[in-house]
Amino acid sequence: MTIIYIAGPISGLPDGNKPAFDHAQDMLTKAGHIVMSPHSLPFGMPESSYMDICLAMVRACERVVLLKGWENSLGVAAEQALAHKLGKTVGVIHFDHITDPADLVELAA
């Protein structure tokens, strides 16, 4: 069991890219991981508050998983930089190609 933070683009995307985050969280949870996601936070706070909380989640996790489109997000750039600074494992997973949560079990290794 690994504590994983999901990072991906949110701003300017329909529904804040929630379906992609939800799919990733579902697959990772079914694979036995503890998952943290920005979409678990309440709606309506200032963007700076979200960043503060998300950076705290990065500090608390063991690994960061980047969603498709992460390259175009300043927020993800900050999360990724912090994760690297703290020695966290960071990787991209293309969840649109994963249908079996068992494929994600190796993240705990």
Asked whether the predicted pLDDT for residue 107 surpasses 60, the reply is no
Asked whether the predicted pLDDT for residue 44 surpasses 70, the reply is yes
* pLDDT given for residue 101 in this prediction: 60
Q: Using CA atoms, how far apart are residues 96 and 61, in angstroms rounded to an integer?
A: 23
Q: Using CA atoms, how far apart are residues 6 and 67, in angstroms rounded to an integer?
A: 7
Q: Using CA atoms, how far apart are residues 42 and 77, in angstroms rounded to an integer?
A: 22
Mean pLDDT of 19-29: 92
* pLDDT given for residue 34 in this prediction: 96
Residue 97: pLDDT band (50, 70, 90) is: low
Instruction: Output the domain CATH number for residue 21.
Output: 3.40.50.10400
Asked whether the predicted pLDDT for residue 40 surpasses 80, the reply is yes
* pLDDT given for residue 63 in this prediction: 95
Residue 18, Cβ neighbours under 10 Å: how many?
Answer: 14
* pLDDT given for residue 13 in this prediction: 87
Mean pLDDT of 59-65: 96
Provide the angle, in degrees to the nearest 10, between the axes of the packed helices 74-85 and 47-60: 30
- Structural domain containing residue 12: 3-108
The pTM is what? 0.89
Domain count for the chain: 1
* pLDDT given for residue 16 in this prediction: 85
